[in-house]
Amino acid sequence: MHNTLLHQYQFILGSRKALFNYCEGISTDKLLTPLASFNNESIITQLTHVANCYVFWLAHYAMQDQRPFFRNEDQHDLYTVKQAFEQVNILVNDFLHRFSAVLDVPVTLPRKGDLVTTTPLQVFTHVTTHEFHHKGQAVNMSRQLGYIPVDTDVITY
């Protein structure tokens, strides 16, 4: 299963690359524009949120490793967001390596004062589907800013 998830993450990287390539055609000012319809978030803050969810769920929650979060004020353009995701890629690799033999074994860990039972596979699925949810929001935000989105799905045609 470990190899399957590594392979699946390659598909996710391809979709993320399509989004980043698309965002290169959007001015930095627009990438940083807060939109009222998205709780005054910008495309950059949406992408930073996604990176931080990987940090929280994979590092802090599952691995009990206190890696630093990415600060919105440090993510001031697409280049810095891409750098954050390079760190996310390392984290995903560390996570999948650490749990490779026990991806479907339940673990009970603290979360907001309670104990939550999940599996590493559930945590991985959570962060990757969460990324796609916010990728869709980022594309929708770009449309509201006057851009015509490209296909950023895993399978394109």
Is 6 a member of any domain?
A: yes
Is 21 a member of any domain?
A: yes
| Pairing verdict, β 114-118 and 107-111 | antiparallel
Confidence check: pLDDT of 19 > 80:
yes
- Burial readout 47-65 (b: 16 or more C-beta within 10 A, e: otherwise): bbbbbbbbbebbbbbbbee
Is 149 a member of any domain?
A: no
Confidence check: pLDDT of 145 > 70:
yes
Q: Is residue 157 very low, low, confident or very high in pLDDT (cuts 50, 70, 90)?
A: low
What distance in Å separates the CA atoms of residue 26 and residue 145, rounded to the nearest whole number? 9
Is 157 a member of any domain?
A: no
Q: Which amino acid is at 40?
A: N
Residue 60: domain span: 2-144
Confidence check: pLDDT of 2 > 80:
no
Instruction: Please report, for the domain that includes residue 99, its CATH number.
Output: 1.20.120.450
**pLDDT on residue 109:** 85
Is 136 a member of any domain?
A: yes
Is 152 a member of any domain?
A: no
**pLDDT on residue 92:** 97
What distance in Å separates the CA atoms of residue 69 and residue 130, rounded to the nearest whole number? 17
- With contact defined as beta carbons under 8 Å apart, do 109 and 3 qualify? no
Confidence check: pLDDT of 1 > 90:
no
Rounded to an integer, the average pLDDT of 39-64 is 96
Confidence check: pLDDT of 152 > 80:
yes
Work out the percent of the chain whose per-residue pLDDT is above 70. 99
Q: Is residue 98 very low, low, confident or very high in pLDDT (cuts 50, 70, 90)?
A: very high
Is 31 a member of any domain?
A: yes
Is 151 a member of any domain?
A: no
Average pLDDT over the chain reads 94
Rounded to an integer, the average pLDDT of 110-124 is 91
- With contact defined as beta carbons under 8 Å apart, do 84 and 70 qualify? yes
**pLDDT on residue 20:** 97
How many domains is the chain built from?
1
